[in-house]
A = this chain, B = another copy of it.
Amino acid sequence: MRNGRVFGAPAPTSPPWACENRLTATDETRTRTELPGVETSEQITPAELRLATRNHGFPLEALSYDLTPAGLHYLLVHYDIPVVDGESWRLRIGGSVANELSLSLEELRARPEVTLAVTLECAGNGRAQLSPRPVSQPWLLEAVGTAEWTGTPLRGLLDEAGVDGCGVEVLFRGLDRGVEGGRQQQFERSLPLAEATREEVLLAYAMNGRPLPPQHGFPLRLVVPGWYGMASVKWLERIIVLDRPFEGYQQARGYRLRQTPDEPGVPVSRMMPRSLMAPPGIPDFATRERMLELRPCTVQGRAWSGFGPIERVEVSADGGAGWGEARLGPQPSAWAWRSWQWVWEPPGTGVYELCCRATDSAGNVQPLRAPWNLGGYANNQVQRVPVVVEPAA
């Protein structure tokens, strides 16, 4: 009950894809230099820079806020941000249903309203730490954010449409259009019916109490608590109940864990546990290296998992050799990150490497090094923050 998992589909307790991830912390560095059919690069490529300069990361010092201030939430946009006229826009619901629906924004807002704080993280968060690095949006660790989403439960609308006995999945189509894997497409993702009918799955029209900004899906987006962000389709145009599994690009090619392009792979779904700290001290502008003075220091952060509540956060000041227990604090909602803090007394001046790792109620622990995969997804290896401790002024 604590994590709100009384509705819809029961939460699985571990990721379907990776026993490797349930690990004790071991260093399983992989060094691959040539992989057939795999586009990687040691250096950041111009294409990655084009992605990095348009998508937005969450600056980690903003971990101090329960709810991420508008404009600091991470943002991954596959194509262009569409300009949508909220007055003429309608959401259509069809497919394997008894009653097709076509709803205006006003009609959606007149339905039962729920507000829920939800942590969303990009499935590619951590990608740029892999070696070799899959060439795509080169996130280091900053593709996360927590917002209060306001909307109406999807389940109510599916009930109203009347899913017929053939329905097995629900497809969500966005208005954003582009080319990916050589194919023109609108962004489309599906959910199994049992996931789509979890009560906390929302059709959201507001973020932090304001209408959705264009870049977060105006006028309407899906919010799937617990899942990586690709499930929470933005700029919704159509919802289609399918009588067979969806085989579109973002489901069958993108967002799958595999080692080679020929494997079908396993779909990415729920967020692996992760803890992030706000790097303590002050930064060097150019290098982002951290300096702090020799005195007790409270290290603060947040942790989350799509597989269960966070039960433990550990912090290390020596790169993961020894660990201390962080004190867990509250969280804005059952689907949002949990705060933690840990008091560190540096034994002297010098260079240290701070790390943190989370454990969820299902027993999943962050690895020191996550297993490699072709798309660079779900890399939840522990954050490492080098700091230089200097004499107190």
Contact = CB atoms under 8 A, between A and B. Distances in A.
Interface residues of A, number: 57
A52 to B, nearest CB: 4
Interface string A155-168: 00000000000000
A49 B59 contact: no
A94 to B, nearest CB: 23
Contacts of A184: 282, 291
A261 interface: no
A148 to B, nearest CB: 15
A350 to B, nearest CB: 17
Nearest to A82: B61
Interface stretch (A5-13, A111-119, A131-139, A219-227): A131-139
Contacts of A83: 61, 64-65
Instruction: Give this chain's copy count.
Output: 2
A70 interface: yes
Contact of A136 (B53, B142, B180, B286): B286
A57 B53 contact: yes
Contact of A215 (B72, B140, B285): B72
B69 A214 contact: yes
Contacts of A80: 59, 61, 282-283
Contacts of A140: 49-50, 53
A83 B44 CA distance: 32
Contacts of A73: 71
A337 to B, nearest CB: 17
A18 interface: no
A369 B193 CA distance: 55
Nearest to A48: B44
Contacts of A46: 44
A284 B291 CA distance: 41
A299 to B, nearest CB: 14
B282 A178 contact: yes
A56 interface: yes
Interface in A282-299: 282-289, 291
B138 A53 contact: yes
A120 to B, nearest CB: 15
A261 to B, nearest CB: 14
Interface in A74-126: 75, 77-81, 83
A283 B61 contact: no
Contacts of A177: 282
A213 interface: yes
Contacts of A75: 71
A283 B184 CA distance: 9
Contact of A49 (B47, B70, B128, B215): B128
A256 to B, nearest CB: 16
A82 to B, nearest CB: 8
A343 to B, nearest CB: 19
Contacts of A45: 43-44
Nearest to A288: B50
Nearest to A291: B179
A78 B286 CA distance: 8
A51 interface: yes
Given A53-B52, A53-B57, A214-B62, A283 B178 contact: yes
Instruction: Report the 4 A-B pairs with minimum CB-CB distance, sorted nearest first.
Output: A43-B43, A71-B71, A44-B44, A61-B80
Interface of A: 43-54, 56-57, 59-62, 64-65, 69-73, 75, 77-81, 83, 128, 135-136, 138-140, 142, 177-180, 184, 213-216, 282-289, 291
Given A61-B80, A179-B282, 15 more contacts: A43-B44, A44-B49, A49-B140, A50-B288, A53-B128, A54-B59, A54-B288, A69-B214, A70-B71, A71-B216, A72-B213, A178-B284, A179-B289, A180-B284, A180-B285
